[in-house]
Amino acid sequence: MSALDHKDLQELGLLYRQTASDLAIAREDITSSQLAAYLNSLLGRTHNLIYMGNKPKVAGIVRFYSETYPRIFRELWPQTLLAFAIFAVTGLAAFILTMRDPTFAHRLLGTHMMETIEKREMWTHSIVTIKPLAASSIMTNNLSVAFATFASGITGGVGTVWMMVLNGLLIGVIGAATLQAGMAGQLWTFVVPHGVLELPAIFIAGGAGFEIARGMLFPGLLPRRESLARAGGRAAQLLLGTIPMLIVAGVIEGFLSPSETAAPLKIPVRRSDVCCACDVPHASATRAKAGRFPRILRFS
């Protein structure tokens, strides 16, 4: 297939459709059973040749992360920045509201988690006892959050905004509640090692969702269907870049973040995480038991 030029490919497509039409006619004629069998075999072999696709090559993956992804990231930077802004504003508002009205945290997080915080206990002990299983569960959850945030763009961006608001609300309320309980250091020592990869990945997924919404709501001179298809392709490429980030973040969250490792020893990991997060675009757990927030990042 790769040896065929554009004209040959057009001719192949025409012959394929003609053969399919001839096969349909031959099947209606009981005297043409042998011809129908031959055409069916020929069409089957041709179908496999056309649609078998190409096996992914390591060079192609490297080229995607070193060339294609940085370009897509820069082009869709405004959408990613919008996702971050919604998260940050919501988180700040939730933090201020909780500091002024501590009962807000009780209503949002529930009695069980607030009792844990008031006892100055972290809620991550269960992760320590089942690290491999926890890491797998965390990765699955965070990947599902990223894909849900991306796919919610088809709602005109409403679903993507909702996902950003939910996550910002949660981290703002938990941050304020732990600060009031005098355990902010414990919270951020847990969150930062994996959060420096996890949170940017979700912002990027939010940017992908907003790109889908842009293509649907503002097609410009293109037909809406074509605009949505183009925007969806670009958004999917943007989302793909978050997968390695979320996998690494899940491993860190499952093994390092909840461990008793001294905070200074976690700092090199945080710095290396930041480097990885910056290199991707430019060069290449348990839920809160009483809150039960749908489709949100794990901060526990």
Does 75 lie in the same domain as 42? no
Q: Pick the range with the lowest mean pLDDT from 69-83, 99-113, 230-244.
A: 99-113
Q: Is residue 1 part of a domain?
A: no
Question: What pLDDT sits at residue 235?
Answer: 94
Same domain, 168 and 23: no
Nearest to 143 by CA among 68, 60, 41, 245: 245
Query: Are 39 and 136 in a shared domain?
Result: no
* Alpha-carbon span 134 to 259, nearest angstrom: 13
Q: Is pLDDT above 90 for 298?
A: no
Chain centroid to Cα 287, Å, comes to 18
Residue 260 region by backbone torsions, left for phi larger than 0, else alpha for psi between -120 and 50, else beta? alpha
How many other C-beta atoms lie within 10 A of the C-beta of residue 138? 26
- Between CA 146 and CA 148 the distance in angstroms is 5
148 and 163 Cβ atoms separated by less than 8 Å: yes
Band (pLDDT 50/70/90 cuts) for residue 201 is very high
Under DSSP, the state recorded for 222 is S
pLDDT at 151: 93
Name the pLDDT band for 32 (thresholds 50, 70, 90): confident
**Nearest alpha-carbon partner for 210 in 167, 149, 295:** 149
DSSP state of 66: I
Per-chain mean pLDDT for the chain: 78
| 14 and 80 fall within a common domain | no
Is pLDDT at 87 greater than 90 in this prediction?
Answer: yes
Co-location of 177 and 224 in the same domain? yes
The Cα–Cα gap between 163 and 146 comes to: 9
Distance, CA of 85 to chain centre: 18
What's the pLDDT at 127? 46
pLDDT of residue 285: 36
CA gap 94, 100 in Å, rounded: 10
Count of C-beta atoms within a 10 Å radius of residue 104 = 16
Digit-coded pLDDT (tens) for 155-192? 999 999 999 999 999 899 988 988 988 888 877 887 88
Q: Compute the distance between CA of residue 147 and CA of residue 65 in angstroms, rounded to an integer.
A: 19
Q: What is the pLDDT of residue 205?
A: 95
Q: What is the pLDDT of residue 280?
A: 41
Residue 230 covered by a domain? yes
275 and 234 in one domain? yes
**132 or 31: whose pLDDT is higher?**
31
pLDDT at 130: 45
pLDDT of residue 271: 46
Q: pLDDT above 70 covers what percent of the chain?
A: 75
pLDDT at 239: 93
C-alpha distance from residue 265 to each of 138, 175, 256, 260 (Å): 22, 22, 10, 10
Shared-domain flag, residues 248 and 205: yes
The residue behind tokens 């649609």 is 51
Q: Which domain holds residue 229?
A: 58-282
The more confident residue out of 113 and 211 is: 211
90 and 224 in a single domain? The answer is yes
pLDDT (tens digit per residue) in 39-79? 888 888 888 777 766 566 777 788 888 888 999 999 999 99
DSSP assignment, residue 133?
Answer: H
Are residues 184 and 101 located together in one domain of the fold?
A: yes
